[in-house]
Amino acid sequence: MQYQAQLDFLLSQARQAAGIMRRRYRGDFQVYIKPDGSKVTDVDLEISQYWQAARAEAFPEIGLYSEESPDKTIVPGKDYFVVDELDGTSYFADGQPGFSHQAAFFSAAEGLVIGVLAYPLEGVLLYAVRGEGVFLEQNGTLESVARPPAKPIEELHFGHPQRYKGDRYYNLLDRLEVPPHRILQTNALRTLQMARHELDVNIFLMPRVEAWDWAGEKVIVEELGLNHSYLDGAPIRFGEAPRADNPGYLLCPQGHKDWLIEAIV
């Protein structure tokens, strides 16, 4: 495989990150508040330092674009590892499940080609290589993940961000006539839920989501044969900012994409 070295590196990093999270979960660590009001912990920073050192040694020619790395510059024509050291920091900080490690490899020539997610508490490693399929590793067993079967609209399960306290999403889902039993509370486990065919549609009503929050997931979702786009159907590309009036993001079965866009936008 063309990107075997990058895949092996990403999997190794994900296992190390998961190990750090398990070791320090509900343990002794500091929580800090960043200028944007979000949380960061000593654990995020420990994983970030490990990532920066390992990348510099193994792939000095490949850039690192991550939530906690100091350099957020994206140089055109350069390959990148795109990393969220600890996705779901607020859950981790509160001693609750719902966090992961997310990473991707971006080839300047081909775009996003590898996506990796590690779920420390579940002991799961979920990953995909574009054109090669999706794989799930758990308890020493590796299995290929099948694409989800086609479902009619009335059987789709929709995600609701677990920690969102307003009514905006519920109002939208009500307008789409989604009954409560088909609404799942979601967090960083949502990609695993989609891979397990438990969750079909994720809608994010926000103008900008940082690349480290979606890059790894995007490769996996698209390799599952699903749509991962802006809410108006426009493609999402690493290194390209969304338009100022972007209505949001849509992850869904390809066959229901047009209906959802028309109904939502």
Q: Which residues contact 169 (CB under 8 A, 6 or more apart)?
A: 160, 161, 203, 205
Determine contact, residues 84/44, Cβ cutoff 8 Å. no
What's the farthest any 2 CA atoms get from each other in the chain? 52
Cα–Cα distance for residue pair 15/125, rounded to 1 Å? 8
Note the Cα 55 to chain centre separation in Å. Answer: 20
Delimiting residues of CATH 3.40.190.80 domain(s) in the chain: 153-264
Q: How far is CA 144 from CA 74, 122, 150, 183, 251, in A?
A: 33, 18, 18, 27, 21
pLDDT in tens, 89-131: 999 999 999 999 999 999 999 999 999 999 999 999 999 999 9
| pLDDT over threshold 90, residue 37 | no
Output the pTM of the full model: 0.97
Delimiting residues of CATH 3.30.540.10 domain(s) in the chain: 4-145
Question: Angle formed by the axes of helices 42-58 and 4-24, to 10°?
Answer: 160
CATH of 4-145 among 3.20.20.70, 3.30.540.10, 3.40.50.720, 3.40.309.10? 3.30.540.10
pLDDT in tens, 189-240: 999 999 999 999 999 999 999 999 999 999 999 999 999 999 999 999 999 9
Fold of 153-264: D-Maltodextrin-Binding Protein; domain 2 (3.40.190)
